[in-house]
Amino acid sequence: MPKIRLVQGLLFSSVVGLLAYRRRSLSRSGLLGAMIAGTTTVGFGGWKWGLSLIFFFVSSSLFSHFRARDKEQLAADKFSKGSRRDIVQVAANGGVATLLALAYGATPETEQRRREALEASYVGSLAAATADTWATELGVLSTHAPRLITTGEQTEPGTSGGVTVMGSTAAATGAAALGLVFWLLGRADRAQRSLPFIALVSGLLGGFFDSWLGATVQATYYCPICKKETEREVHSCGTLTILRRGYPWMNNDTVNFLATFWGALVALALHLCLRRGKR
């Protein structure tokens, strides 16, 4: 059965990935990364794992293209990369989830408690990725200036660590939706009925952790010509930027990976606490 699912996952992820590539949501390397993640997730996790991964990817891609021109005018020069995701971005957002799918497939069906814990961790990881992406893509369009999560000071749209009510609402909605989709795909299993709640909490905390990292340790550069902050080492104007704060190796992809890992840990902790409460 896993071998059949691996083939099915390869075919399915290839079709979805090629469509995304043609819509300019993925680069060539991003297409390869999506195929690897999709094949692994469906093959070792199953269809509810794979389809929930597709839900994250498709919804995130749709929001990336939503009012794209407005985003370019507001904050395009802030972000280190464009809307076409490469293999590193795919790994940063879905790498933890893919590893959890591998662990799930390697766990015997008789160890039901461990498999349920892995499911919760998977949902938490993807919920954090969904929350962060929805918050970024919709929060940047907020009519109210974002505020730094650390100090509350107003900042420019697209600044790492900036949060808005609109972005936070989008994060909560995306996280809860991811959990609900996974639960419904699992035929609304009563044993896992807490998954939407776990997704909401872990997704929000993962998204806020992402913002906190962005405001404190993520590499932020400064363009001396345009006098603007950016995540790029070379600004959109072509000027070599100057590191203003953070660490050079702590880029947006590293932050996203850590946020999804944190989301998985929070979800696991919630799952274990809720299970103890039922005893």
d(CA 236, CA 249): 20
d(CA 148, CA 154): 6
Tell me the DSSP string of 148-177: ETTT--B--TT-TTEE-HHHHHHHHHHHHH
What lies within 8 Å, CB to CB, of 9 at 6+ separation is: 38, 39, 40, 41, 42, 43, 50
Task: Determine the pLDDT at residue 72.
Answer: 65
Q: Inform me whether the pLDDT recorded for 189 exceeds 80.
A: no
Task: Determine the pLDDT at residue 104.
Answer: 96
Q: What is the mean pLDDT of residues 106-117?
A: 92
Task: Determine the pLDDT at residue 207.
Answer: 95
Q: What is the mean pLDDT of residues 126-141?
A: 92
Name the residue ranges covered by the structural domains of the chain: 2-277
- Give the H/E segment covering residue 252: helix 252-277
Q: Inform me whether the pLDDT recorded for 78 exceeds 70.
A: no
Tell me the DSSP string of 183-220: HHHTT--GGGTTHHHHHHHHHHHHHHHHHHHHHHTB-E
Confidence of residue 76 (pLDDT cuts 50, 70, 90): low
Task: Determine the pLDDT at residue 140.
Answer: 84
Confidence of residue 75 (pLDDT cuts 50, 70, 90): low
Residue 63: CB atoms within 10 Å: 20
Q: Which residue has the tokens 């606490």?
A: 273
Average pLDDT, the chain: 90
Of the candidates 242, 237, 220, which has an alpha carbon nearest to the alpha carbon of residue 158? Answer: 220
